[in-house]
Amino acid sequence: MKCKVCRDAAVIDIRRHNANFCEEHFIRYCQQQVLRAIHDYDMLEPDDRVLVAVSGGKDSLAIWDILLDNGWKADGVYVGLGIGTYSDTSLEMTERYARSREVELITVDLRAEHGFDVPTASAETGRVPCSACGISKRHLFDSTAVSRGYDAVITGHNLDDEAAVLFGNVMSWQTDYLGRQRPMLPARDGFPKKAKPLMRLTERETAAYCVLRGIEYQIDECPMAVGNKHLAYKAALNDLDVESPGSKAAFYLGFLQRAVDRFEGDSGRGDLGQCARCGAPTDAAVCAFCRIVQRTEGAAAAPVEVVIKRYAGGRRRP
């Protein structure tokens, strides 16, 4: 197996591009894919101050690394979700990377600063853990970026993530979500600009990038992914991609090129007011994050294992 660029020994094959790369040219390939996404979707200006939402996993550390190496002033924000030892290791990996690059890392701890953690939010609101978690992360990433004057929030969603979300939205014909599933959302109504520059790279590629760059990351899956169909959609798309390399990328990138605009009218971007409690933009009197804060006030902390058991097997147990 030889590198497509220099003919030295290759370390990885990328079947959808019919290409193999040595270490140096694979790193360059990853950077080029990110720069292409940034260019094609007008994600960032060279002097934008960006805030990378970091989880300690391979994707967010890889995109932080690539943005720093390409000259962006990129700080990180980490949200402590309170998911037992999983969260402890995730924070450790994030702090280690930030120290190694001597960059700023902002940490927000859900329990210490807002009085709840993800297991308790799930137990008290009846939402699947990922729903309570997603609302909390989005709110804190956005509010941190706005209050500290960052130009954009960057998330580490990769091609597999985006294709799986698209698959789920198509399966249930969520045309409002389809209309909003874009890799860059401009700032509006008090929300910061949000971008997903890893949209052209797969999970396998971001993992390989971290390994080759010597970046240590959280390798365990989040134990609270129970009740989340995302993993099943990813597995189905990966099976298809083995049979027909490139089909996953064609599905997602083809949607962006030829279909997303057709759903724009369904995207439901109406006028927003301000949350009565925190001032964040929302279409309700109180935003979804503040409703979680209110519902969990005074509640005993729910153990991770108990919440996992409740959703195990894909069905909520009464």
Binding site for ligand Q46 (CB under 6 A): 81, 118, 129-130, 133-134, 222, 224-225, 228
Per CB under 5 A, which region of 23-31, 94-102, 115-123, 309-317 contacts Zn ion?
23-31
Least distance to Zn ion, CB of residue 3, Å: 3
Q: Which amino acid is at 44?
A: L
**Alpha helix positions (H), the chain:** 23-40, 58-69, 84-101, 110-114, 118-125, 129-147, 159-171, 175-180, 203-213, 230-243, 247-258, 288-296, 304-311
Q: Which amino acid is at 237?
A: L
For residue 293, what are the CA distances in angstroms to 111, 121, 148?
Answer: 10, 8, 22
| C-alpha to C-alpha distance for 96 and 116, rounded to whole angstroms | 26
Among 236, 256, 278, 299, binds Zn ion (CB under 5 A): 278
C-beta closer to ligand Q46: residue 82 or 197: 82
State the DSSP code for 89: H
Q: Is residue 284 close enough to count as binding Zn ion by CB under 5 A?
A: no
C-beta closer to ligand Q46: residue 222 or 293: 222
User: What, of Zn ion, ligand Q46, none, does residue 54 touch, CB below 5 to 8 Å by kind?
Assistant: none
Among 229, 269, 277, 295, binds Zn ion (CB under 5 A): 277
Q: Is residue 180 close enough to count as binding Zn ion by CB under 5 A?
A: no
Beta bridge partners of 21: 12
User: What, of ligand Q46, Zn ion, none, does residue 5 touch, CB below 5 to 8 Å by kind?
Assistant: Zn ion
Least distance to ligand Q46, CB of residue 64, Å: 16
C-beta closer to ligand Q46: residue 54 or 98: 54
Residues in the chain: 318
Least distance to Zn ion, CB of residue 192, Å: 16
For residue 304, what are the CA distances in angstroms to 59, 87, 122, 262?
Answer: 24, 11, 10, 41
User: What, of ligand Q46, Zn ion, none, does residue 130 touch, CB below 5 to 8 Å by kind?
Assistant: ligand Q46
Least distance to ligand Q46, CB of residue 56, Å: 10
| C-alpha to C-alpha distance for 304 and 85, rounded to whole angstroms | 10
User: What, of ligand Q46, Zn ion, none, does residue 140 touch, CB below 5 to 8 Å by kind?
Assistant: none
C-beta closer to Zn ion: residue 96 or 213: 213
Least distance to ligand Q46, CB of residue 133, Å: 3
Among 12, 14, 20, 22, binds Zn ion (CB under 5 A): 22
Least distance to ligand Q46, CB of residue 209, Å: 19
Least distance to ligand Q46, CB of residue 22, Å: 32
- 3-state percent breakdown (helix, strand, coil) of the chain, nearest 5: 50, 15, 35
| C-alpha to C-alpha distance for 54 and 171, rounded to whole angstroms | 29
Site string for Zn ion, 24-43 (x = CB under 5 A): -x------------------
The count of chain residues that interact with Zn ion, using the rule CB under 5 A, is 11
Phi–psi pair at 153, nearest 5 degrees: -100, 130
Question: Hey, how many other C-beta atoms are within 10 angstroms of the C-beta on 281?
Answer: 16
CA neighbor of 265 nearest in space, from 172, 178, 179, 181: 179
Beta bridge partners of 76: 52, 105
Residues 6+ apart with CB under 8 A from 195: 38, 41, 43, 44, 152, 153, 154, 155, 183, 184, 185
Q: Is residue 163 close enough to count as binding Zn ion by CB under 5 A?
A: no
Least distance to ligand Q46, CB of residue 14, Å: 25
Binding site residues, Zn ion, CB under 5 A? 3, 5-6, 22, 25, 275, 277-278, 280, 287, 290
